[in-house]
């Protein structure tokens, strides 16, 4: 008589608990987000307003920047670099816990995760750049597209089911590849996680996939590139693009003018 085999025991997958930030840091991040919203509003009303081509260009650039950053942070070697290791750990945990680390954290917390790099980018851009209308417009676009755009595109790629009602247009943008399409991003979530690193629109992946494949790059080369782009991109871009018209009523123009006047006085 044959015995019925005992039911198989499956190991329970450990539940992911996202690390929580201190109350003070949460308060600082919320203040930062309010400041960014006010800066954006102020720029729309008073200027200096980036022109359409600059806005589109920075949006496309942000997908490339996100691909570079993502490929660095997904690499195991990044786990050994002080300062970068905790962020890299977060990126690599996302492969094991895709939903827990996106919808489980919430969009606001995800945006708060970018506050530190926003300050790094802004400080370097303002130190190295010309600090004129074009610099302010580029810094604003970089923070909006590279930080908030990355989290927004990625969050809704994992939460397409939320794109209903008044958020329905987001699904149209995903279908048009203007926002990261879920099916496109899902190809990143297949081991060994070596393609589709761009997470704003995913458009740059079509030409960056062969370049950013771990078999084809040296980790320290892309780490250096990411560092250089973080520090110098705005300073380089502002030299190459037509200038943004200064708005006389803007406090940013006032800062830029005072910088010029002090330079003349010197």
- Report the residue number, 74 or 238, with the smaller CB distance to Zn ion: 74
Q: Quick one: 200 or 237, whose CB is closer to Zn ion?
A: 200
Question: Could you tell me the smallest distance in angstroms from the CB atom of residue 6 to Zn ion?
Answer: 38
Q: How far is the CB of 26 from Zn ion (least distance, A)?
A: 23
Contacts of 199 (CB under 8 A, 6+ apart): 63, 66, 67, 70, 150, 153, 154, 157, 180, 185, 188
Q: Residue 107 CB: number of other CB atoms within 10 A?
A: 17
CA–CA gap between residue 28 and residue 224 (Å, rounded): 30
Q: Which stretch binds Zn ion (CB under 5 A): 24-32, 60-68, 73-81, 165-173?
A: 73-81
Tell me if 59 sits within 8 A of 200, measured CB to CB: yes
Taking Cα atoms as reference points, which of 87, 86, 116 lies closest to residue 230?
A: 116
Work out which of 74, 75, 132, 233 binds Zn ion, going by CB under 5 A: 74
Rule CB under 5 A: say whether 238 interacts with Zn ion.
no
With CB under 5 A as the rule, give the number of residues binding Zn ion: 1
Whose Cβ is closer to Zn ion: residue 99's or residue 258's?
Answer: 99
User: Minimal CA–CA distance to 135: which of 145, 125, 144?
Assistant: 125
Q: Are 93 and 218 in contact (CB under 8 A)?
A: no
Residue 34 Cβ, how far from Zn ion at the closest point, in Å?
Answer: 27
Q: How far is the CB of 58 from Zn ion (least distance, A)?
A: 23
Instruction: Provide the minimum distance between the beta carbon of 92 and Zn ion in the complex, in angstroms, as a whole number.
Output: 7
Tell me the C-alpha distance between 103 and 82, whole Å.
28
Nearest-CB residue for Zn ion: 74
Nearer to Zn ion, 187 or 224 (CB): 187
Q: Report the interface residues with Zn ion, using CB under 5 A.
A: 74
């Amino acid at each position: 008589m044959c015995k019925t085999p005992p039911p198989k025991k499956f190991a329970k997958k450990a539940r992911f608990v996202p690390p929580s930030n201190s109350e003070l840091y949460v308060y600082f991040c919320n203040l930062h987000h309010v400041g960014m919203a006010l800066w954006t509003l102020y720029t729309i009303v008073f200027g200096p307003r980036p022109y359409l081509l600059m806005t589109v260009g920075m949006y496309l650039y942000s997908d490339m920047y996100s691909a570079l950053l993502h490929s660095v942070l997904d690499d195991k070697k990044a786990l050994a670099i002080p300062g970068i290791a905790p962020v890299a750990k977060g990126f690599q945990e996302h492969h094991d816990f895709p939903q827990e680390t996106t919808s489980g954290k919430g969009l606001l917390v995800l945006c708060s995760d970018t506050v530190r790099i926003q300050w790094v980018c802004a400080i370097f851009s303002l130190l190295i750049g010309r600090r004129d209308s074009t610099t302010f417009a580029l810094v604003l676009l970089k923070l909006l597209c590279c930080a908030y755009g990355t989290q927004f595109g990625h969050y809704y790629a994992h939460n397409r089911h939320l794109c209903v009602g008044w958020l329905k247009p987001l699904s149209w943008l995903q279908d048009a590849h203007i926002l990261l399409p879920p099916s496109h991003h899902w190809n990143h979530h297949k081991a060994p996680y070596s393609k589709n690193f761009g997470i704003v629109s995913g458009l740059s992946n079509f030409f960056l996939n062969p370049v950013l494949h771990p078999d084809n790059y040296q980790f320290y080369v892309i780490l250096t590139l990411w560092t250089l782009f973080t520090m110098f991109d705005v300073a380089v871009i502002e030299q190459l693009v037509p200038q943004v018209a200064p708005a006389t009523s803007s406090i940013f123009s006032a800062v830029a003018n005072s910088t010029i006047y002090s330079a003349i006085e010197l």
